[in-house]
Every structure is written in structure tokens, then in C-alpha cells.
Structure 1
Amino acid sequence: METSEYARTANQEITLLFAGIHRRAKNVREHAHECMELILIRKGTCEVHVDGQTLTAHPGDIIAMPAHQVHDQISHGHIDTVYCGFTAPPTLVCAEPHVVALPDISFIEQSMLLLSAISLSQTQAAPEAANLVMAAILEQLQQQHVLHQELEQTPPLLRVILRYINDHIDEPITVETLAAHTRMSSSNLHLLFRTHLKTSPMRYLHEQRMKAARSALMTPYLSVKEVAVICGYPDVNHFVRTFRKAHGLPPGQWRKQQQNTL
């Protein structure tokens, strides 16, 4: 499935046909479906033999299997997967079996688990609601695919730093913190960011914190002080000044402005 083939799923006809979970060390014998299938690897590793080729998938990978493709699944020990079968317009259906590496599986994983619960009648939901969840999965898969392509062009050491920033956005982070995490000098850290991101480490951190702040402010139940802590600003006054400088409005007024435009 190419990037363009995932796009604009919300307005397309997508119908969930089945979903489930496979948790065992048992192989899956050869079979085929009348529809496209997505298989998310949560734990373990497996190989899929299909159309004369072998696909290897690891945790965080999704196997995209077109309709009518005879395939098996050989597990390397215990494996935990969740899968969904669905119909969609031709523009959203892949022509060849392939593996997609996901930089962040959280949304897709939880959504596919929800669909498996719905499919197994453990959770009640209208079919239209399940179809919208399936569409959201495809939309997120598009974004993850694009992100993966961008990360592939990013040096591994820089990827480690960006992941660290993302995972510790609510904690104190300095240039020295990042340099120590990667065992490199501060000057080399600056050079790495300037070369590949055209910015400095602290400027990048600032942009990510402001992005997190905008997202958190869209939740009406969080106070500005709580948003500040989530984004790594223990001093709410410092957060307000920083946000105002970046957006032209203090966070409370920015939130009201966004609510008025919805």
C-alpha cells in the first residue's frame, strides 16, 4: 500500500468484516480471505509465505495482505497479533503483500483491539461506528507510513534523541541531558540537529512542547497548570509567557479562540 492509497479514508466506503487476536506459539496454516487483511505484530516474530516470497515481521510491524492471497504464518515461538479484515474502494486496497514498520503503534493497536472486541461480541457497537474506527486506522496508518519514511532518512543516532525527547517531554531536558543520553559532545549534538533538522536541540524541544501544549489545551478538562506540567513546564507562569510568545495569546485565551472556531 503506497502512501497515497491510504489517504482520505474518512469519506470512503470501508466495511469491517472480521477482527480478532492470535496469541499462541502455534502456526497459522495456509488460507486466503475474500477481503484485505491487516495483521499487527504486538509481540514475537513471524514469517509469512505468500506468492513465492517470505515476509518477516517484528513487533510494531503491520502485514498488509491483499484479498485472495494464499498465505501462512510461521511463528518464531509465542506470538501476539491482532488482525482486521475489511473491504474498501480500490484506491485504498494494496496490490501486493508487504510489511509496514510503524514508528508508534499505540493508536492503531488500541483501535484494532477495540475492533476485535466488537467482532467477538465482547463490546457492543453499531456497524457504522466500527467502520469509522477502521477508517481511522487506515488514516493513522498513512501518517505512520509517512513518518516511517521520514525516519528512514534520519540518522539512527538522531532517531534515538528524537524518541528520547518524545518519551520525556514532561521532564527537565537540557543539551547536556541529550548529549549524555547519546554519549556525544554538546557541539556534535548541535551539529547533528543543524545538519538534519535545520534547528537546534533546544529549539526542537520547544517546538515539540508547544505542539504538545496545543494538543493538551484542546481537552477542556485540563487546567492551564496541568497542561504546563504535561508539557514539561513545572512553573505555570513560565509556561504562560512561553506560550504567549509563540502564539500571540496566553494559553487560556488560545483555548477559547479554538473552541469558538469549532
Structure 2
Amino acid sequence: MFRYVRTQRSDFSAQACIVYHDNDCFYPCIHHTAVGQDRPVGQAETFRLHRHNLYHVVVYTRFNGAFSLDGKLIEAGPGTVVCVSPGQWHDFVSFRRQAVYSEVTFSFETPRGRTLAISMEQLLRLLTGLPLTLRPWQCISIEKAQHLESLILRITDHARSGSRTATYCCQYSLGCLLDALVWSCAQFDSPGPVPDERLVQVRQFIEMHYAEPISVEQLAVMAGLSRGYLFRAFRTAFGKPPLAYQQQLRLEAAKTLLRSTALRCKEVAARCGYENLAHFCRLFRRATGLSPTGFRRHTLASHQVTFGQ
């Protein structure tokens, strides 16, 4: 069994896995890890149901046992994964029996001592920006569970190393663990009705050929729909009519080129499908409130970097 218990104050120098929430930046802090925990550590009378403002990820890898979560006794076996959020009552020791598990205990804190107290599900939603659902416990394949355990081992190794890179490596590895939780344990919420596949194909065609001349008639023939139906259905599904969507893609591409290249405005316009520079400038100003040259000047000023500081 490999264990790590934090004995030093939190280091807030690395920024590999920061969470921004409620107008504050929260940094991950690893408090405790255990890999291959096959026996209790400490006196029996200290094992009891408890709660705190920390997160737990517990992965069962061998044999069977049970744990208590929010007052419920739940059977566990190889492949059981438990995600404990701040404030949840839990006990993994009293009912362990022969089960072997690995765990990591962590928090997200500010340098001023504020601790993040949202659920694990909300945490993963913040990190990914995805509308997902996470059950507090579930069973996954042995292979996926072993991968989660290997990431906990990696966190443990970095935390115990005491090297100058330990904080960064721990944060990065914790991010990998949370990412693996997303793909192994989370379910993604449905965004709503699935658009007609023909409309999806039309949108993909526009995205691939946005700089080329496109007509609604051309798109309608390609999709096997009438012009009027395509116009209405596309706007309902994606919020804009087909050619307005193409216009949006062109202008976003123009913004990217103005920010990231030294192309002249006429060259940017041509690359985005506009033959007439004046027409391009009018559309760009209408969309952004700035001329193309003004937009480039504004982005350079607002993202100016001073070296040597």
C-alpha cells in the first residue's frame, strides 16, 4: 500500500488545474492519497461516519466490501467508483471487509483560505463546460477502474517526490484523473431534439465551404428539400438562416486572421470570401462596431504583453 498525507502548506504557484467560480480562482490541493489500501490505518474507534469540505475519489480494484454514503450502506466490488462531494457523510473503513481500493482526497482553495464547496458534478461541469450528470457512485469496467487507479498512483508519486515540479505535476495529474472521470463515469445531458440529419449535412457543408459562393437553392438541392422548407427548418434548428450562418462564419474567420496574421485587410477579405473590400468593411463594422483596421489595433492594445516583468 502506498500513501501520501500532506504535511506542508498549500503551494499556489502552479496554475495547471484552476477553477474559476463565484468571482474567485480556486487552486487544487492534494490532502491525502492511498493506493491499494487493503487494511485500516489507525485505531478502530476512529473509523466512523464523517463529513468535511473536501472531495474524495475512491476506486475499488479487488475483492468485495461495502461503504456508507449519506446514511446508506452500499455494496462495492472491483470497478466501483465513488465520488464524494464536500458535505457528504461517508465511511469507507467500517464496512470494508476484504475490499481493496485506491483513493485521493483533494480540495480547491484560494490563497486567502476560501474553499470550494460545490458538488463533484458541478465541479466537472465547470472544468469541462459540458452539461453532464454524475452519480455519486457507479460500476465501470475493470480496465477503466485500473486506469483511474494508475492516475491516483501518479498523483501519489508526484506528491511524495518533494521535487520543484511536484505542485505542477500533481495539478496536471489531478486534471487527468478528473478528465478520466468525465469519460468513464459521467452521462451527458441531451441538448434537446436532434436536428434532421439533412440539416446537419447542410451546416457541415457551409462550415467546410464558407469562403465560397453558396446559394440556398444549391443547399436545397443537396439536401433534397424545398428552398422555403430548408430556410425555415435551418433557422429553427440552428438559430440563423443558412446564408446568415455562412456570414457569421466568414466574419469570425476574418477576426481570427486579423488577430493572428499580418495579412492586409484586402487579403483577409479575399480569404474569407469577400471580393469587394468596401462591402466587407461595412459588414465587419456592422457586426463588431469597429473597422477591420480598428479591430486589429484594439486587439493588439488589449492583449499587449510586456516582457521582462
Normalising by structure 2, what TM-score?
Answer: 0.41
Relative to total residues, which structure has the larger helix share, 1 or 2? Answer: 1
Greater RCO, 1 or 2 (C-alpha within 8 Å, sep 6+): 1
> Which structure has the bigger radius of gyration?
2
TM-score by length of 1: 0.47
